[in-house]
Amino acid sequence: MIVFGIETSCDETSAAVVVDGRTLLSNIVASQMEEHARYGGVVPELASRRHVEQLIPVFRQALAEANCAWTDIDAIAVTNRPGLLGALLVGTSAAKALGMALKKPVIPVHHIEAHLYANWLTPPDNERAIADYPAVALVVSGGHTDLFHLRGHGDYVLLGRTRDDAAGEAFDKCARLMGLGYPGGPAVQKAAEGGNPKAITFPRATLPGTHEFSFSGLKTSVRYALQGENLPPIADIAASFQEAVVDVLSKKTIAAANELGVERVLLAGGVSANTRLREVMQQRCDKAGLALFYPAVALCTDNAAMIACAGYWYLQNGRTATLDFETRASEPLAGVQ
């Protein structure tokens, strides 16, 4: 089955062609990041306008690179929730039009669920194994820090989430405080490369007895660390901040896996591209006898391949596709049990 995926929930216009929810024939991502960078964050109206301009060229490129024609496509999958409403509507309107013209099913996909499904795509290096259930999954993106118990396709329990800032948001805000620019995650990772992660002991909110997270106290501490004279090098502040985030994320994820008795841990979302997070998670999972899965770096941040993959699994599991679905700015993926 060949699924055409569409993603426009934030500042990436993306289209992809994926076979059987696994093999990427193409995955085109047109990023608007540089344009939003001068405002220090995503400007929603600007994002919608750029999606309108980029969509058709990105669609054409995705088909051409996959060596496919529209007639080869079996279904269309599109992000319809959560995200910036105007941006989402550009993608869902296009998907519905395509579905009508091609007489093919259109599958509305939850963006966070698609981030999880990036773990089911064959990575370009083909070396890592594909994820499976049951598992504990940590979704760390610009808007979410959610810990889930994944029991099977579409069967998830929310264990906990952040009480304030998302992990990616903490990277972005602290990068701005450090004068490192936008998006903050990759900038902090780069700045941290030569730094000492033990230079400053930033607070770690462990919130015992819960699977919740909190990063606002850490952000305030970074602000204080940047005040006064004789500041430590930015590399040390960046490395120490990154270490604090990674420490809490990895400890709490592994504790949840142990508590539930599952043997697999999945990472997903933009922050799972972070090298130090992958490294520390790997060390701690190895020690705890847990199998760790994370997507290829290019598939951690927003992309349409993960949307196509999710759409494939929705169809495999009998979720119906109709053209009258809604587009929503927010909707939780799963509830607490």
Nearest distance from C-beta of residue 304 to Zn ion, angstroms: 11
DSSP class of residue 136?
A: E
Nearest distance from C-beta of residue 291 to Zn ion, angstroms: 24
Rounded to 5°, the CA angle 125-69-318 comes to: 75
Type of residue at 332: P
Alpha-carbon span 42 to 180, nearest angstrom: 16
Nearest distance from C-beta of residue 269 to Zn ion, angstroms: 6
Indicate which of ligand KG4, Zn ion, none lies near residue 189 (CB less than 5 to 8 Å, by partner kind).
ligand KG4
- Closer residue to Zn ion in complex, CB, 197/269: 269
Interface with ligand KG4 includes 302 (CB under 6 A)?
yes
Three-state DSSP at 216 gives helix
Nearest distance from C-beta of residue 303 to ligand KG4, angstroms: 8
Nearest distance from C-beta of residue 225 to Zn ion, angstroms: 29
Among 73, 98, 244, 273, binds ligand KG4 (CB under 6 A): 273
**What is the number of other CB atoms lying within 10 angstroms of the CB of residue 153?**
16
Interface with ligand KG4 includes 295 (CB under 6 A)?
no
- In the chain, % helix, strand, coil (3-state, to 5) comes to 45, 20, 35
DSSP class of residue 162?
A: B
Q: Pattern of binders to ligand KG4 over 220-259, x per CB under 6 A?
A: ----------------------------------------
Q: Which tokens go with 66?
A: 């996959």
Site for ligand KG4 in 131-190 (CB under 6 A): 141-143, 168, 171-172, 183-186, 189
Pairing of strands 75-81, 2-7: parallel
Q: Which tokens go with 262?
A: 């599952």
Of 160, 180, 216, 169, which is closest to residue 42 (Cα–Cα)?
169
- Closer residue to Zn ion in complex, CB, 243/302: 302
Instruction: Please give the size of the binding site for ligand KG4, defined by CB under 6 A.
Output: 19
- Closer residue to ligand KG4 in complex, CB, 35/263: 35
- Closer residue to ligand KG4 in complex, CB, 105/185: 185
Interface with ligand KG4 includes 310 (CB under 6 A)?
no
Indicate which of ligand KG4, Zn ion, none lies near residue 11 (CB less than 5 to 8 Å, by partner kind).
none
- Closer residue to ligand KG4 in complex, CB, 115/264: 115
Rounded to 5°, the CA angle 271-277-283 comes to: 155
Three-state DSSP at 12 gives strand
Nearest distance from C-beta of residue 270 to ligand KG4, angstroms: 2
Among 145, 221, 274, 327, binds ligand KG4 (CB under 6 A): 274
Dihedral sign of CA atoms 152, 153, 155, 156 in order? positive
- Closer residue to ligand KG4 in complex, CB, 59/215: 215
Beta-bridge mates of residue 162: 213
Among 269, 292, 312, 327, binds ligand KG4 (CB under 6 A): 269
For residue 124, what are the CA distances in angstroms to 26, 31, 66?
11, 20, 15
Of 139, 190, 112, which is closest to residue 294 (Cα–Cα)?
139
- Closer residue to ligand KG4 in complex, CB, 91/184: 184
In contact, 17 and 4? CB cutoff 8 Å: yes
- Closer residue to Zn ion in complex, CB, 96/115: 115
Of 28, 20, 23, which is closest to residue 122 (Cα–Cα)?
23
Q: What residue ranges bind ligand KG4 (CB under 6 A)?
A: 10, 141-143, 168, 171-172, 183-186, 189, 269-271, 273-274, 301-302
